[in-house]
Amino acid sequence: MKLSPYEIERLMGIEAYLTGTDGIGGRLRDSPSDFAVEEVPAFKTGETGGYLVARLTKENWETHHLIRDLSRQLGISDDRIGLAGTKDKRAITTQLISIYGVTEDDLKKITLPRIRLTPVGRSSRPLVLGDLEGNNFDIRISGVAMAEPEIRARLDSITGEISATGGVPNFFGYQRFGIRRPITHLVGEKLIRGDLEGAAMDYIARSFPDENPENIEARDYVFRTRDFKKGLDMYALNLRYERTMMHRLIERPGDYAGAFRSLPGTLMKMFVSAYQSYLFNRMLSQRLLLGMSITTPQEGDTVCFNGPDGKPDVSRVEQVTKKNRPDINYLYKRKRVTLVLPLVGKSTRIDLLDEVSRKVLDDAKVTPDNFEIPLMPELSSHGIWRAMVLPVSPSLDVEGGSVRARFFLTSGSYATTVLREYMKANPRCME
């Protein structure tokens, strides 16, 4: 275990590394082609159905922005476009999308740059988040400033530590929160506390030091004055969601719920989800810092049972007690249970939480009831469980001053969670 020295990680609840070996440094995404992601779908298509399913390859596109621009060119609402997962912006990514009520000929209308849409079939239902097995990653780490033998030695040592554990800590990665402007979970925290105005103002106008000076000036002005009309003149056009919310607040002053509802549904729901992710990261970090196992069940921990495919089935959980611990250990040795932590929601049972997790919630002054949000019921969350460990077996090739990393990750996990163990670089070199 090694402490993270980076404040930006601690803001996301990520406080430690699993591995104690020094990293190789370096940086990601010198160009989008250095970060390739290909979705492995779990979605069947046919020849009929109201939804056209297409393979989308995009380069340097933020997913929410692309969906909005696609819907505009097709003349449809963006809620008619479905996908199984959001993908990195500064990357070349390939995934399936579903579009309701369009034909293959309609796709020929699309003139957006740096995308390719290829029809693959039709379906009677849309793609939804989670309709994938996972993602294959092919990533180049550039600018590694050490001799090849030292690079190989460190990579081998880190891989050995990861293999001994069975994977890396299953942190929610930087993409969940943002690096230049890690605001998403802070907005989510205010939403669960019923402070819609504070949440809206944070999203629209809370500035961070790594933003460009013009954006900082504009945000600080609006934060001080609530002058949304002048804000529209000051805000760059690419701050489209902040501008959308300000338009709504000009039309209907004080309607902060309406301002959030003017955003795409997938983005609106990310805020509460990001705060749940932050709390999960804090719980997992505390286990690492306290020297607790993230793989071997101990009394007071919670496990889920693995399905026939060996994957964790987080709908079936049980707390480890003095009485059942021998049985749980028997199942653990046969890889039939997995340690889990909660993404806390209104249905989370506090009695199933270990002491460390309960302390994280107590310190944050959060209870499951906070995730019932009367002012915006659509943002309420029941909660779910998530595995503590992310299994991974990367293939690593040293190529001069760079490293090519290839690996598969199950859905809902993050490549930076793996790469940070090898690089231990400033997160700003990994965005």
pLDDT digits 0-9 by tens, 291-324: 999 999 999 999 999 999 889 999 999 999 999 9
* CA gap 78, 63 in Å, rounded: 12
Over residues 134-155, the mean pLDDT reads 97
pLDDT at 265: 86
Cα within 13 Å of Cα(44), Cβ side: 1
Tokens standing for residue 49 = 């159905």
Task: Please give the average per-residue pLDDT across 9-23, as a whole number.
Answer: 97
* Percent of the chain whose predicted confidence (pLDDT) is above 90: 93
pLDDT at 100: 97
- Residue 72: its H or E element: helix 63-74
Using the 8-state DSSP alphabet, how is residue 77 labeled?
-
Q: How far is CA 287 from CA 18, 177, 290, 416, in A?
A: 11, 21, 5, 20
Q: What is the pLDDT of residue 324?
A: 97
Q: Is the pLDDT of residue 264 over 90?
A: no
Mean pLDDT, all residues of the chain:
96
* In the predicted structure, residue 85 carries a pLDDT above the cut 90: no
Kind plus residue range of the DSSP H or E element containing 419: helix 415-423
Digit-coded pLDDT (tens) for 213-258:
999 999 999 999 999 999 999 999 999 999 999 999 999 999 999 9
What strand order describes the sheet that includes 302-306? Answer: 312-319, 302-306, 337-343, 384-387
* H helices present in 206-354, as ranges: 213-225, 228-234, 240-251, 256-261, 265-289, 325-333
User: Quick one: how far is CA 360 from the chain centroid?
Assistant: 20
The structure tokens 């790469």 sit at 419
Banded pLDDT at 87 (limits 50, 70, 90): confident
What string of H, E and C letters represents the secondary structure of 330-395?
HHHHCCCEEEEEEECCCCCCHHHCCHHHHHHHHHHCCCHHHHCCCCCHHHCCCCEEEECEECCCCE
Amino acid at 430: M
**Which residue ranges form the domains of the chain, and what is each CATH number?**
2-32+134-170+391-429 (3.30.2350.20), 43-129 (3.30.70.3160), 184-263 (1.10.1510.30), 267-387 (3.30.2350.20)
If DSSP codes are grouped into helix, strand and coil, which group holds residue 60?
coil
Q: Reply yes or no on whether 313 is catalytic.
A: no
127 CA to centre of own chain: 18
Reported as type and span, the H/E element at residue 95 is strand 92-100
pLDDT over 90 (residue 88): no
Q: What is the pLDDT of residue 299?
A: 96
Between residues 178 and 190, which one has the greater pLDDT? 190
**318 φ, ψ to 5°?**
-150, 140
Q: 3-class DSSP state for residue 51?
A: strand
Residue 349 has pLDDT above 90, yes or no: yes
- How many other CB atoms are there within 10 angstroms of residue 278's CB atom? 25
Q: Place 266 in a pLDDT band, splitting at 50, 70 and 90.
A: confident
Higher pLDDT, 199 or 63: 199
Cα-based angle 62, 65, 68 (whole degrees, multiple of 5)? 150
Instruction: Tell me the CA distances in angstroms from 311 to 73, 159, 218, 394, 407, one per residue in order.
Output: 40, 22, 47, 19, 17
Contact 189, 220 (CB under 8 A): no
Pairing between β-strand 337-343 and β-strand 302-306 as defined by DSSP bridges: antiparallel
Contacts of 362 by beta carbon, 8 Å cutoff, 6+ apart: none
Q: What pLDDT, on the 0 to 100 scale, is given for residue 187? A: 98
pTM score, two decimals? 0.93
pLDDT at 96: 96
Pairing of strands 395-399, 402-410: antiparallel
User: Do residues 141 and 11 touch, judged by C-beta distance below 8 A?
Assistant: no
List CB contacts of 399: < 8 A, sequence separation 6 or more. none
- Residues 122-151 have a mean pLDDT of 95
Whether the CB-CB separation of 300 and 359 falls below 8 Å is answered with no
Q: What are the phi and psi torsion angles at 26 (to 5°)? A: 90, -170
Say what the pLDDT of residue 5 is: 97
pLDDT > 70: percent of the chain: 100
CA-to-CA dists, residue 102 to 73, 83, 111, 119, 125, angstroms: 12, 16, 16, 11, 14
Confidence check: pLDDT of 130 > 90: no
Task: For residue 64, name the pLDDT band (cuts at 50, 70, 90).
Answer: confident
Q: Which of 34, 69, 88, 233 is catalytic?
A: 88
In this predicted structure, what is the pLDDT of residue 89? 87
Q: How far apart are CA 419 and CA 428, in angstroms?
A: 13
Specify the pLDDT at position 400. 86
Count of residues making up the chain: 431
Assess contact for 110 and 70: CB atoms under 8 A. yes
Radius of gyration of the chain (CA): 22
Mean pLDDT for 117-132 is 94
Residues 6+ apart with CB under 8 A from 298: 292, 320
Q: How far apart are CA 422 and CA 99, in angstroms?
A: 39
